[in-house]
Amino acid sequence: MKHIKRIACLLLSLLLLSFFGCGKETINRTLQIPEDGRVARAVFKGIQESGDIGIFNGNSNDITYQWLFMGSLLEEPRDENLLVTFSSAKTQEVKARLSAEHVQEFSFANGEEILGGPSLSVYFTYPWNADSAEVYQYDAQTDSLTLVATAALENVPNAVVTLIPQTFKGLFYLVGRTTQEQSTTEAAAGSEPGASATALGQSNKATDAYVNETKKPTVAEPATKDKYLTDEVPSGKPKPVEPEDVTVEKEKKHTATLSIRCDTILQNMDQFNQDKLPVLPKDGVIMPTRTVVFYEGESVFDVLQRETRASKIHMEFVFTPMYNSAYIEGIHNLYEFDCGSLSGWMYKVNGWFPNYGCSRYVLKNGDVIEWVYTCDLGRDVGGGYAVGELP
């Protein structure tokens, strides 16, 4: 009886331990590779189940390296040894044989395959005078160097080489190549450059894209500097675009809808400037919703200016450098403060009141533009409050 109790206790504690042990490791995504290189199955299981990524950092002889495991690619998690050892036993020889300036020897822990198709990034402490890198495998029996894969090289400014290892046995060499050089295979051991492509081709979309990504020409995007007092634009809403950064393309036409209304005045006639009665539309509609055509890159202001001009509707604005935008003072002779000290014109697009000037809102096809007159700093038209302007 005692024995059974003891065994039961032991099992229970083991269970609890593993439970907690498992739980703990899935929280951290970035882990340090232990000295013996062993990473338990539970860790990979955690990555697989969470669909997350696993980053394992290691260090050997002043060279740091990093494994990246994608949870979606792990099929049968198991214990792995992620230790990579950097050495230099045959480096000089290989440099001569391949006539390359940069060569780094390395080997994997067990020579056993590491499942899950992870990528390995190697961080050097100096730049490589090369454009790309290749991975060679050394076969001691035949004394041959075989090209097994290409790798990505970036000098940021120190060299970082990233590869997706396919074979793990024996000694390997990272070799830096400049584009003029051709990759050389030593013996006629039947490995063509094409093989490396297929090896990569077997890898999944994610890592494929990564390898290709570094070769794409980089396109510079203008950094938007926002010094015009714009508060954080809520996520998902379009950011302001400075009018001077935009090119209007007259060949590309789009449509949107535009309306201009001042019906809030009708609910606040006691505050309304009686002098302006003649210009107040009885139904509060200055321009009913209409479809307008605009050119790619144009702003809300551009459309308002064009349409009011075309329909001979009065519109007065002043360009405010402070906000890098036009500020609409009056439409249809109805100006700010004509309906109390909290009144003025506001605009919304697709139901949202942008918190920046109308010259900075670049339109997209199908946008719904509404100009509305508020008598309560925006609260009566569902727009929170507008930023007050000092004289």
Partner 1 sequence: MKKKFLSVLLVLSLVLSFAGPAFAQDAPAGYVTVSVDINTLGNGFLYEPVQVPFYEGESFAQITDRLLDGKYENSGSVDDGTFYMETVILPRAITVNIPQFILDETGPLDQTGKAEGETLGQFDYYGMSGWMITVNNTYIDRSAGAVYAQNGDVCRWQFTVYGYGADLGSSFMSDPMYERADKDALTAKVAQINSAPNKAELLAKSGVQSAYDAAYTVLGNLRAEQSAVDSVLTALNTALQAQPPASSVDISIHLSTTLDYMLGTVPAPAFGTGGGEWTVLSLARAGHAVPEGYFEDYYGRIEDVVTENNGILPSSSSKKTEYSRLIMALSSLGRDSTDVGGYDLTAWLSSMPQVQKQGINGPVFALIALDTNGYDIPDVLATAAMTGYSTATAADQVTRQRLIDYILDREIKKGTDDAGGFALSGTTPDPDMTAMVLQALAPYRSQPAVAGVITRAVTALSAIQRTDGGYASWGSVNAESIAQVIVALTALGVDPATDSRFVKEGNNPVTALLRFYVEGGGFAHILGSGAGSGVNGMATDQSAYALVAYDRFVKGKNSLYNMTDAFTSTEEPPEQAASIILEGPGQITGKAGTAFNVLVKTKAFPEGNFKLMDGLLNIPDAFSVENVAASDRLNGGALSWNYNAADKKLRFVYTNSSLENIGISGTSFPAELLTVTLKLKSDMDEASAATVSVGGLTLKEKSDAAAFVFDVAQAALSVAFSTVGVSVRELFTGDGVDLIPADKRAVAVTFSGIPAGSGLDYKGAELIFSPEMTAKQGANTYVLFTVPTEAAEELQKAENYHLQGAAASVVAFGDTDGNSVINAQDALDMISAWLRKTSVSTDLQILTYNVTSDARINTFDALAILEHYVSGAELAILSR
Partner 2 sequence: MDPIKSLRESAFLQNKRNRILLIAAGLLFAAIIIMMILLMGGATEKLFAPSLTLLSPAPVAVDNRDEINVDVLLSDLPDRVYPAASLSVRFDKNKLEFLGARQGTMMTLGDSTQEEVTYNIPIWKSDAAFANQTGELNTMYLDVTGGKFAYVREGFQKDEKDILLRLRFRLRDSAQVGEIYDITVTDAVIATIGGAETRTSLATAMRTLKAYSAKIVVQ
Rounded Cα distance between 106 and 151, Å, is 14
- Region 94-123 residues binding partner 2, contact defined as CB under 8 A: 119, 121, 123
Q: How many CB atoms lie within 10 A of CB 320?
A: 14
Rounded Cα distance between 240 and 186, Å, is 58
Nearer to partner 2, 83 or 160 (CB): 160
Nearer to partner 2, 194 or 234 (CB): 234
Considering only 138, 331, 376, 383, the residue that binds partner 1 (CB under 8 A) is: 376
Nearer to partner 1, 207 or 230 (CB): 230
Element (H, E) at 309: helix 300-310
User: How far are the Cα atoms of 109, 113, 270, 294 from residue 302, in angstroms, in the given order?
Assistant: 65, 62, 34, 9
Coil, strand or helix: which one is 372?
strand
Which tokens belong to 180?
Answer: 């003029």
- How big, in percent rounded to 5, are the helix, strand and coil portions of the chain? 25, 35, 40
Rounded Cα distance between 44 and 78, Å, is 7
Considering only 298, 307, 336, 370, the residue that binds partner 1 (CB under 8 A) is: 336
Shortest reach from residue 83's CB to partner 2, in Å: 16
By CB under 8 A, residue 251 contacts partner 1: no
Considering only 220, 277, 310, 318, the residue that binds partner 2 (CB under 8 A) is: 220
Binding string to partner 1 for residues 260 to 279, with x set by CB under 8 A, is what?
-------------x-x----
Amino acid letter for position 358: C
Shortest reach from residue 230's CB to partner 1, in Å: 5
Nearer to partner 2, 51 or 366 (CB): 51
Rounded Cα distance between 26 and 53, Å, is 10
- Region 185-214 residues binding partner 2, contact defined as CB under 8 A: 205-210, 213
By CB under 8 A, residue 236 contacts partner 1: no
Q: Are 25 and 42 in contact (CB under 8 A)?
A: yes
Binding string to partner 2 for residues 315 to 354, with x set by CB under 8 A, is what?
----------------------------------------
User: How far are the Cα atoms of 86, 198, 244, 346 from residue 369, in angstroms, in the given order?
Assistant: 62, 52, 22, 11
Nearer to partner 1, 8 or 229 (CB): 229
- Region 173-212 residues binding partner 1, contact defined as CB under 8 A: none
Shortest reach from residue 99's CB to partner 2, in Å: 29
Burial of 356 (0-12, 13-18, 19+ CB in 10 A): buried
Binding string to partner 2 for residues 267 to 306, with x set by CB under 8 A, is what?
----------------------------------------
Beta-sheet pairing, 368-374 with 344-349? antiparallel
Part of the chain binding partner 2 (CB under 8 A), chosen from 1-9, 151-159, 274-282, 332-340: 151-159
By CB under 8 A, residue 160 contacts partner 2: yes
Nearer to partner 1, 131 or 226 (CB): 226
The full 3-state SS of 49-86, as one line of letters, equals HHCCEEEEEEEECCEEEEEEEEHHHCCCCCCEECCEEE
Part of the chain binding partner 1 (CB under 8 A), chosen from 70-78, 181-189, 262-270, 319-327: 319-327
Considering only 188, 219, 277, 390, the residue that binds partner 1 (CB under 8 A) is: 390
Coil, strand or helix: which one is 366?
coil
| Burial per residue of 111-134, b for 16 or more beta-carbon CB atoms within 10 angstroms, e otherwise | eeebebbbbbbbbbeebbebebbb
The site for partner 1 (CB under 8 A) is made up of 225-227, 229-233, 244-245, 247, 273, 275, 318, 320-322, 329-330, 335-338, 340-342, 376-377, 385, 387-391
The site for partner 2 (CB under 8 A) is made up of 29-30, 32, 51-53, 55, 57, 59, 62, 64, 66, 68, 70, 119, 121, 123, 125, 154, 156-158, 160, 205-210, 213, 218-221, 223, 225, 235-236
